Amino acid sequence: MTWGDHAPTDMVVASTELDETPAAAVRVAPKAQVAATKNTKKPTTPTLSVKASTRVGARPADTGRKGPDIGWQPENAARYVVAVLAANEVEMTGVTAISDLYKSCKKQGKVHHTKPKIGDVVFFHNVFDANQDGRNNDWYTHVGIVDRVESGTATVIGWTKSGVIESKLNVALARDAEGQSEETNSQLRQPASSDAPFTEYHAGQLFAGFCDVLGDKANLVVIDGWTPETGN
């Protein structure tokens, strides 16, 4: 399969079956046939998971940092997701920002807020203070795509300055203090001394919606080695 004028470099394939076992993934050579492979060890990916605070909405240990250090890149995060969708034969034309992607999903009636499945696009608010006004009004600051689902917890991959990273998301446990753990809802936002009261930090709390843009596909192609400079 080719994508634009380029053939995807390395690709990862995941099954879209929603059972209690994470979808297996396998690397394939460029232009090789895409096929799901069971019981294949998934490559290790950097993760944002950290130990959570003891109550919902509580500030994790304050480091005194005055800004985020995870390296969120909203525009490039949108470009990465659009590239993955294109690799799966779904073109999102005219999308240059996360808000554009959300509006397109909304227009198509594909936005939902429960029961994620492999291939769903995932939107987040307030992962950092994008406009630096000290308020929690930073909408659509990160986007990713569901790579696998296990027992209601989705593993979401998305782009940051560190490359493609993964985080955990369980919407059903978003308001459960015990659900804010590295196994269910990764801490996405880094605490800063300038944070407004009631700032929230974990994936389920910052979750803004899913988009079922891929429908029921048998296989998901994920681009491994994508960079903003090359776009592939």
Q: Would you say residue 173 has pLDDT above 70?
A: yes
Of 63, 85, 56, 228, give the one whose Cα is nearest residue 159.
228
**Which of 5-9, 86-90, 129-133 has the least mean pLDDT?**
5-9
Strands 207-211 vs 219-224: parallel, antiparallel or unpaired: unpaired
For residue range 193-219, what is the model confidence (pLDDT) as tens digits? Answer: 889 999 999 999 999 999 999 988 767
Angle at 73 between CA 72 and CA 75, to 5 degrees: 150
pTM of the model: 0.73
User: CA-CA distances (angstroms) from residue 53 to 59, 188, 199?
Assistant: 7, 13, 13
pLDDT digits 0-9 by tens, 138-161: 999 999 999 999 999 999 999 999
Q: What is the dihedral of CA 100, 106, 108, 109, to 10 degrees?
A: 170
Q: What confidence category does residue 61 fall into, taking pLDDT thresholds of 50, 70 and 90?
A: low
Which residue type, as a one-letter code, is found at position 13? V
Residue 60 CA, distance from chain mean position:
22
Instruction: Work out the percent of the chain whose per-residue pLDDT is above 90.
Output: 56
CA dihedral 109, 115, 118, 119 (to 10 degrees): 20
Can you give the pLDDT at residue 178? Answer: 86
